[in-house]
């Protein structure tokens, strides 16, 4: 069975498209997309893939005190620490802003192929000061990860940022996007 990423890649002819094109392509499939279905179609690793987007199920340690949180984050890891890692959770941004941030981060690509060999050479030091990125920076503890990590290769990242699979608790996605804008 073809994955959601395969379907959209096939529609694009393997050619990078505009933000509107990806938004419309994902929208046309949105009634068939769920977090669990998407996760079951992916390449799963035991640790997050550095330099790539990752999807995974997460149960925050301090969820009782957090005003809201995402239990299926779309994260670009920035750096590790003992017992976890710091990463950018794209779900804290509206889909259009996610796409713009992804375009901005392409300047950190390890090559211009934008395929499975491409990684984003980012760290907290390199991107933590970018205003749009600040609200996405989160810490993740391995002991609270509830699944493996679904690796999203570079050619699928534009699709991934539009997928409606964020799972916010305590607040709506539109509320979170508003808070992230400042």
Q: Is residue 6 domain-resident?
A: no
Looking at residue 21, its pLDDT comes to: 85
Q: Is residue 45 domain-resident?
A: yes
93: which DSSP letter?
S
Looking at residue 1, its pLDDT comes to: 60
Q: Phi-psi category of 90—alpha, beta or left, where left has phi over 0 and alpha has psi -120 to 50?
A: alpha
Looking at residue 182, its pLDDT comes to: 67
- Domain residues for the domain of 114 are 16-181
Q: Is residue 7 domain-resident?
A: no
Looking at residue 100, its pLDDT comes to: 95
Mean pLDDT by 10 residues, the chain (182 residues): 78 77 81 82 91 97 98 98 98 96 95 94 94 96 97 94 96 97 78
Q: Is residue 92 domain-resident?
A: yes
Q: Is residue 62 domain-resident?
A: yes
Cβ distance 34 to 72 under 8 Å? no
Task: Domain count for the chain, please give it.
Answer: 1
Q: Is residue 9 domain-resident?
A: no
Q: What is the DSSP string of 149-181?
A: EEEE-GGGHHHHTT-----EESS-HHHHHHHHH
Q: Is residue 115 domain-resident?
A: yes
Give the Cα separation of 145 and 84 in Å (integer).
9
Give the predicted TM-score (pTM) of the model: 0.90
Cβ distance 91 to 73 under 8 Å? yes
Cβ distance 70 to 91 under 8 Å? yes
Residue closest to 175 by CA, chosen among 94, 100, 72, 58: 94
Cβ distance 107 to 122 under 8 Å? no
Q: Is residue 117 domain-resident?
A: yes
Residue closest to 35 by CA, chosen among 55, 53, 49: 55
Looking at residue 7, its pLDDT comes to: 81
Q: Any idea what the Cα angle at residue 44 is, between residues 40 and 50, rounded to 5°?
A: 135
Give the Cα separation of 138 and 58 in Å (integer).
12
């Amino acid at each position: 069975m073809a994955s959601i990423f395969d379907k959209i890649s096939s529609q694009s002819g393997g050619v990078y498209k505009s933000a509107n094109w990806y938004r419309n392509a994902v929208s046309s499939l949105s009634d068939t997309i769920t977090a669990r279905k998407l996760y079951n179609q992916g390449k799963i690793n035991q640790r997050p893939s550095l330099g790539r987007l990752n999807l995974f199920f997460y149960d925050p340690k301090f969820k009782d005190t957090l005003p809201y949180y995402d239990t299926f984050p779309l994260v670009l890891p920035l750096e590790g620490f003992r017992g976890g890692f710091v990463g950018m959770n794209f779900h804290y941004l509206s889909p259009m802003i996610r796409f713009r941030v992804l375009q901005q981060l392409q300047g950190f690509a390890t090559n211009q192929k934008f395929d499975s060999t491409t990684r984003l050479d980012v760290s907290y030091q390199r991107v933590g000061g970018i205003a749009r990125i600040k609200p996405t920076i989160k810490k993740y503890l391995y002991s609270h990860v509830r699944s493996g990590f679904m690796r999203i290769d570079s050619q699928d990242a534009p699709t991934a940022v539009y997928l409606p699979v964020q799972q916010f608790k305590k607040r709506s996605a539109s509320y979170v996007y508003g808070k992230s804008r400042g």
